Amino acid sequence: MTFTPNLIKVRGGKEDLMRLQYVTIFLTDNIFKRYKGEDKFLKLMKIYPIGDDGELIEGVKLEPNIIEVVFRKK
């Protein structure tokens, strides 16, 4: 059983999101899914940039069963 968040907001502009190497979504402490940071995926997961904070990109908790959403740069 997997849980998909309805909305993930991250700090950083759209161009920063497009440059991501991987988007890692933790479902539990040890179970996670990793995706390439592609526009199609970002739209599918409804990941939207908030503001334009340059290199600063971080995830936010939405639900208790989402431990962490991590966005890694190359």
Average pLDDT over residues 38-50: 49
Tens-place pLDDT, residues 17-37: 555 545 555 444 454 555 555
Q: How far is CA 51 from CA 14, 17, 29, 54, 63, in A?
A: 9, 12, 29, 9, 22
pTM given for the model: 0.24
**pLDDT over 50 at 15, yes or no:** yes
State mean pLDDT over 38-54: 46
What confidence score (pLDDT) does residue 13 get?
54
> Pick from 32, 16, 1: which is nearest to 73 by CA?
16
Q: Residue ranges of the domains in the chain?
A: 8-72
